[in-house]
Structure 1
Amino acid sequence: MDGSWAGRRVYGDEPDEPDPGPKQGHVYVELMGDPLDGLLLDVTGWPPQEIVDGAVLMSDHGQFGPGGRSDYEPAEGGSGDVGRFLWRGDVP
């Protein structure tokens, strides 16, 4: 696990959980751009094609408010590791 991710919040974890941060042995991507900017997404066990496809994630803070979703896709030109997902927009 990347040491710079210590203390960071993971998408889907509740902030009041006893240990809401990244877990040893898990693989994460960093979400970049509104509305989930800075959160980590646990992609442990995801098939490679799902990582290439990105993720549409529930978000109460996007354009469509509660019940809306935010589309994130892999950043281009990575170093071969999973890395980062960039925000592409919000969907209802």
Structure 2
Amino acid sequence: MDELMRGRVYGADHDDPHPGPRPGHVYRELVAGPLDGLLLDVTGWTTEQLQEGAALATEIGTYGPGGSARYGPREGDPYHWDWEGDTR
């Protein structure tokens, strides 16, 4: 778990002096794709939302600006979300 807590959080500003996880928050590590290695803050998400995963805005995916990278939970491993592809 210590390894997970060292990453950069998705959506953190590039000039944020503390772009890592915050105490009291819940995170998922994004695996593969354009957001590989980032942490997603899922604090307050419902069980249903956590099961569905998320489409996350990114400018570095297949579709460039305006595109999203789709991530979903890894079976049997609630802390890692795997890349499922890019969408518009």
Q: Indicate the RMSD between aligned Cα atoms, in angstroms.
A: 1.1
TM-score of the aligned structures, taking structure 2 as reference length: 0.93
Structure 1: state its 5+ residue gaps.
none
* Secondary structure at 2:65 match in 1: coil
Give the direction of change, closer, same or farther, for the CA distance of 1:7–1:16 in structure 2 (3 Å limit): farther
The correspondence of residues 1-92 of structure 1 with structure 2, limited to 5 A, is 2-78=1-77, 82-92=78-88
Moved over 4 A (4+): none
Structure 2: state its 5+ residue gaps.
none
> Higher strand fraction: Structure 1 or Structure 2?
2
Count of aligned pairs: 88
TM-score of the aligned structures, taking structure 1 as reference length: 0.90
Give the drift of 1:18: 2.1
